[in-house]
RNA sequence: CGGGACGUGGCGCAGUUUGGUAGCGCACCUCGCCUGGGACGAGGGGGUCGCAGGUUCGAAUCCUGUCGUCCCGACCA
């Protein structure tokens, strides 16, 4: 490709509506443009990177036994009604009717479509396992699209679905995908961690998120400083903290005027915060009250709370009247004296506490010498707290470190949630009808591109890994109007192309500064410069974008050197 | 959806307070000159100031409405 034929409109200034670095750099490098809120054009340079990422994904999916296919983006409502998600998915699903009044949605995901396809075709365990995937646009009408490709409404996703005859088979498919994902993100040159994750609305069994480590990320993950345990903040399990053994004293009600926060309580009673019990009151969408108790210095993990409540999809902060109706008192809450039938969830750390302080369900009063194992009745004890830096790893006990990351892929062991709901069954070896055991595995392609930029850039622009760079090498004649230089550059360009190197010739009649700035901004891994000096010597100047290292190489040796260098970039 | 901000040539912005008929930098076109890190000179093209009403002799500027965009929050395979 010649730069004079390339549509790559670079920008000197950063467009005002781009907030994060990857978005700004992609706009400035002429890789993408915005079309509408949460929707983007990929320009030729950006599309080359997208296609390279897709190709890596494709190769690894195929190697793991996947077969590529393509499903419609417009999906009939009836499949979603069968799975029950038509009612659950909410406003994020873009719904529409055709001229006959039939209802459809723009596919936010394809579990229903693939399950309906496969149930009609797969009859026997002999056809299993089966892994089908596509790389296709998805659409989710996000409440708030932001950060360019990180959270767009229309986005490219690879989604693979596995079908197995039993859980062992599913676990094997899951493992294959886990390994394939590891290979994919490694090949993209990313620093990432697979982390244990919550399943969210998709349901099913275990799950991992593949998270690229970057400060601009929206996800927070806990990584053990010693072993390889890593989990999303929502998922990270926590063992109960032991409390020092004390002789339980008698429960005592004390006046604590105006202490409706933990901070004010701690200073009023002059006690360590670890001696206090904090309450958070929620209401479910069925308007049931849920009281959650954690130690004063801990935070509630709402996802863990949700897991304790059968059939509940959403929590909101409870209204004062609801709390009062159950016998509680906002700011002074305790499990002691709450009406029977209220959900009371208590973190195990709280159950270990001795002679602690909790509210007394009466304004301006607290209980002292609360011993939860003695005093709390009809409570559910479960891990409910949110992980924080320094908490012990559930596997080895070493402290965890909190890191930010960008979730670029997630794998789910679904089980039979969709196959059972939609009647996707097969006959097993015993001739018995069984639901297919499924897994689903997604990768955000655009997000992977954005994550790569977030992780690798400098003040001059993007620094691509060779594997996903729009071009591997750029050849730059310093003077684009000097015929000798141009001819020399053309020859080099031809040689590189012949050798199978993905090369761009910057033959624009621009001044050298302009071309160099563009090279750095776009981030080609290697730049070969031809100027008066190199022309005279019969050499080329090689510049490595990543390190800034520059050296001259003879015409005889440069090709080998370039190929050797590319392997390391 | 709640809170905040902003819409003026392709991009970045000034002008709005105090109404008087649109300006700067970059980019673009032509000519000259220059060629190892976003040159220079001369000339030139391009904007009914998001849109719709209203006030006024007169509106980018004031009023009302509306649409769009961005940020924070809530939300999220």
Strand stretches in A416-508, DSSP E: 425-427, 433-435, 437-444, 457-458, 461-462, 473-477, 503-505
Tell me the per-residue pLDDT of A404-423, one tens digit each, with 9 for 90 and over. 999 999 999 999 999 999 99
Structural Rg of chain A based on CA atoms? 29
Residues in chain A: 569
The whole-angstrom separation of Cα A176 and Cα A164 is 13
Residues A213, A405 contacting (CB under 8 angstroms): yes
How many Å does it take to go from CA A142 to C1' B4?
Answer: 20
Does pLDDT of A202 surpass 80?
no
How many Å does it take to go from CA A535 to C1' B72?
Answer: 56
Does pLDDT of A293 surpass 80?
yes
Using the CA of A17, give the nucleotide whose C1' is nearest.
B70
Of A26-35, A216-225, A495-504, A544-553, minimum mean pLDDT range: A216-225
Alpha helices for A242-344 (secondary structure H): 262-269, 302-307, 320-325
Of A87-91, A199-203, A545-549, minimum mean pLDDT range: A199-203
If one counts every other C-beta atom within 10 angstroms of the C-beta of residue A167, the result is 14
ipTM of the complex: 0.93
Per DSSP, A274 falls in state G
Output the pLDDT for position A90: 80
Output the pLDDT for position A147: 87
Domain spans in chain A, listed from the N-terminal domain onward: 18-187+418-453, 252-381, 471-566
Q: Which positions of chain B lie under 7 Å from any protein Cβ?
A: 1-2, 11-13, 25-27, 34-39, 68-77
The whole-angstrom separation of Cα A348 and Cα A352 is 7
Read off the pLDDT band of A209 (50, 70, 90): very high
The whole-angstrom separation of Cα A153 and Cα A440 is 21
Question: How far separated are the first and last CA of chain A, in Å rounded?
Answer: 21
Only one residue has tokens 């275990």, namely A206
User: A18-187+418-453 adopts what CATH topology?
Assistant: BirA Bifunctional Protein; domain 2 (3.30.930)
Using the CA of A441, give the nucleotide whose C1' is nearest.
B77
The whole-angstrom separation of Cα A472 and Cα A463 is 11
How many Å does it take to go from CA A29 to C1' B71?
Answer: 24
Residues A457, A21 contacting (CB under 8 angstroms): yes
The whole-angstrom separation of Cα A569 and Cα A375 is 63
If one counts every other C-beta atom within 10 angstroms of the C-beta of residue A249, the result is 12
Residue A487 in tokens: 């001819």
- Enumerate residues 6+ apart whose C-beta is below 8 A from A67: A131, A132, A133
Does pLDDT of A200 surpass 70?
no
Question: 3-state DSSP helix/strand/coil percent for chain A, to nearest 5?
Answer: 30, 30, 40
Closest CA to A411 of A273, A183, A209, A275: A209
Using the CA of A410, give the nucleotide whose C1' is nearest.
B77
The whole-angstrom separation of Cα A295 and Cα A77 is 46
Instruction: Establish whether the linkage from the previous residue to A129 is cis, with ω within 30° of 0.
Output: yes
How many Å does it take to go from CA A18 to C1' B41?
Answer: 36
Tell me the per-residue pLDDT of A357-367, one tens digit each, with 9 for 90 and over. 999 999 999 99
Residues A186, A452 contacting (CB under 8 angstroms): no
Which superfamily is assigned to A471-566 in CATH? Anticodon-binding domain (3.40.50.800)
If one counts every other C-beta atom within 10 angstroms of the C-beta of residue A176, the result is 23
Alpha helices for A64-101 (secondary structure H): 77-83, 85-88
Residue A523 in tokens: 């981030």
User: Which protein residue lies nearest to nucleotide B75, measured between its Cα and the C1' atom?
Assistant: A143
How many Å does it take to go from CA A535 to C1' B61?
Answer: 60
Q: How many helices (H) and strands (E) does chain A have?
A: 17, 31
Pick the CATH number of A252-381 from 3.90.960.10, 3.40.50.460, 3.30.1240.10, 2.60.40.1930: 3.90.960.10
Output the pLDDT for position A502: 98
The whole-angstrom separation of Cα A26 and Cα A454 is 11
Tell me the per-residue pLDDT of A117-153, one tens digit each, with 9 for 90 and over. 999 999 999 999 999 999 999 999 988 888 889 999 9
């Amino acid at each position: 490709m010649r730069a004079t034929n390339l549509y790559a409109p670079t920008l000197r200034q950063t467009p005002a509506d781009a907030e994060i670095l990857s978005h700004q750099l992609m706009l400035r490098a002429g890789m993408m443009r915005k079309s509408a809120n949460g929707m983007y054009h990929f320009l030729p340079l950006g599309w080359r990177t997208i296609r390279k990422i897709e190709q890596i994904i494709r190769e690894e999916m195929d190697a793991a036994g996947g077969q590529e296919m393509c499903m419609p983006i417009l999906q009939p409502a009836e499949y979603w009604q069968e799975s029950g998600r038509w009612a659950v998915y909410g406003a994020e699903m873009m719904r529409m009717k055709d001229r006959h009044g039939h209802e459809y949605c723009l596919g936010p995901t394809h579990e229903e479509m693939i399950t309906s396809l496969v149930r009609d075709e797969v009859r026997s365990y002999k056809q299993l396992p089966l892994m089908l995937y596509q790389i296709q646009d998805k659409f989710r009408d996000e409440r708030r699209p932001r950060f360019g490709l990180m959270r767009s409404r229309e986005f490219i996703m690879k989604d693979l679905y596995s079908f197995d005859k039993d859980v062992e088979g599913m676990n094997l498919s899951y493992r294959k995908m886990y390994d394939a994902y590891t290979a994919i993100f490694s090949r993209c040159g990313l620093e990432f961690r697979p982390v244990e994750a919550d399943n969210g609305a998709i349901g099913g069994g275990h799950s991992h998120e593949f998270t690229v480590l970057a400060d601009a990320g929206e996800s927070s993950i806990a990584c053990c400083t010693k072993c390889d345990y890593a989990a999303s903040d929502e998922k990270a399990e926590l063992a109960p903290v032991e409390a020092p053994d004390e002789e339980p004293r008698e429960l005592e009600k004390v006046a604590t005027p105006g202490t409706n926060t933990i901070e004010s309580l701690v200073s009023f009673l002059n006690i360590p915060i670890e001696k206090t019990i904090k309450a958070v009151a929620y209401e479910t969408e069925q308007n049931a009250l849920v009281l959650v108790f954690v130690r004063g210095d801990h935070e509630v993990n709402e996802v863990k709370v949700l897991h304790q409540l059968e059939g509940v999809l959403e929590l909101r902060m409870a209204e004062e009247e609801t709390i009062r109706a159950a016998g509680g008192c906002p700011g002074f809450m305790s499990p002691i004296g709450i009406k029977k039938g209220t959900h009371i969830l208590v973190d195990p750390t709280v159950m270990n506490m001795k002679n602690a302080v909790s509210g007394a369900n009466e304004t301006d009063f607290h209980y002292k010498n609360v011993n939860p194992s003695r005093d709390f009745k009809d409570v559910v004890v479960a891990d409910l707290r949110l992980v924080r830096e320094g908490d012990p790893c559930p596997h080895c006990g070493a402290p965890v470190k909190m890191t930010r990351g960008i979730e670029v892929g997630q794998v789910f062991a679904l089980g039979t949630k969709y196959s059972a709901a939609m009647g996707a069954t097969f006959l097993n070896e015993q001739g018995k009808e069984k639901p297919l055991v499924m897994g689903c595995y997604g990768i955000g392609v655009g997000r992977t591109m954005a994550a790569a930029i977030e992780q690798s850039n400098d003040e001059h622009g993007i620094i691509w890994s060779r594997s996903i760079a729009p071009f591997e090498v750029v050849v730059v004649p310093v003077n684009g109007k000097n015929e000798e230089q141009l001819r020399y550059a053309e020859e080099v360009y031809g040689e590189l192309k012949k050798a199978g190197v993905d090369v761009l010739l910057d033959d624009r009649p621009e001044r050298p500064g302009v071309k160099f700035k563009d090279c750095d901004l776009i981030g080609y891994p290697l730049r070969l410069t031809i100027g008066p000096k190199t022309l005279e010597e019969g050499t080329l100047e090689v510049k490595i974008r990543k390190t800034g290292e520059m050296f001259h190489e003879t015409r005889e040796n440069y090709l080998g050197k370039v190929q050797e260098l590319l392997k390391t970039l």
